[in-house]
Amino acid sequence: MLMCYWRWERLQLTKNFKTTEFRSRDYPVILIDTELLKVLQGIRDAFGKPVNINSGFRSQNHNTDVGGSYNSAHLMGKAADISIPNVPARQIAQVASALYGKKIAIGLHEKENYVHIDVLYSGNWYIEKLSNKVVNFND
């Protein structure tokens, strides 16, 4: 289910995530999918460490400014780019894959050390930009 919040609302959404972590820098509302929250909380619980939301919901302008795709799951509150201090992006992606398999989409961005997680394009796996390069986490 998709939830809508005002940008200035500071609400606790899960045990470890708040609305303010997901807001777009230039838009008055925040869209957040509850399934995405469950996935992110599951990843956080698995690591036992804080998960940084580098990018959550994005307005169209924000998405364009950061070079996001025109049909980005961020526009619908169904994606987040995450990192965990001192944890390589590949390890985050591997754990997310083990926990959720093809129920989620994973974008592995090793150079920038973050992972794109989304619940819109489930079953898709990407390396770096959304380039349809399949990631094999068994390597």
pTM of the predicted model as reported, rounded to 2 decimal places: 0.89
Q: pLDDT tens digits for 38-70? A: 999 999 999 999 999 999 999 999 999 999 989
Token readout for 116 is 């794109």
Architecture per CATH, 2-127? 2-Layer Sandwich (3.30)
Q: pLDDT tens digits for 78-133? A: 999 999 999 999 999 999 999 998 899 999 898 999 999 999 988 877 765 544 44
Determine the Cα–Cα distance for residues 113 and 105; give it in Å rounded to an integer.
17
Helices (H), 24-115: 34-47, 60-65, 89-100
Q: Where are the domains of the chain?
A: 2-127
Q: Specify the long-range contacts of residues 67-70, CB closer than 8 Å, at least 24 apart.
A: 69/130
